[in-house]
Amino acid sequence: MEETITKIFQFEELKSIAAGLAIGLGALGPGLGIGMLAGKAMEALGRNPEARGAIQQNMILAIAFAEAIAIYALVVAIIIIFVA
């Protein structure tokens, strides 16, 4: 009986670690991607200010796609915590 309780507590601890790793690593890529994207967009605006509209539109669209990946990681972390 006592061994079963110990195993359950260990599993709960592992779930927390897994969820933390899922959101941590899942947000790392989009964070770096958005930072690089914004930096390159600023360089492009510095070189060609007349193309502001097209650059801004494409930048916002790419940021939305990168942010969606971070949201997927958040959903996976929540599933790990509450369902698994």
The mean pLDDT value of the chain amounts to 88
Domain count of the chain? 1
Is residue 74, in this structure, part of any structural domain at all?
yes
Is residue 46, in this structure, part of any structural domain at all?
yes
| pLDDT at residue 83 in the model | 85
| pLDDT at residue 11 in the model | 74
Domain that holds residue 31: 12-82
Q: Is residue 70 helix, strand or coil? A: helix
Q: Is the pLDDT of residue 3 over 60?
A: yes
Return the CATH number at 29: 1.20.20.10
Mean pLDDT of 9-28: 86
Per-residue pLDDT tens over the stretch 30-57: 999 999 999 999 999 999 999 999 999 9
Long-range contacts of 15-18, Cβ-Cβ distance < 8 Å, separation of 24 or more: 15/80, 15/81, 15/84, 16/81, 18/80, 18/84
| pLDDT at residue 4 in the model | 64
Model pTM score: 0.74
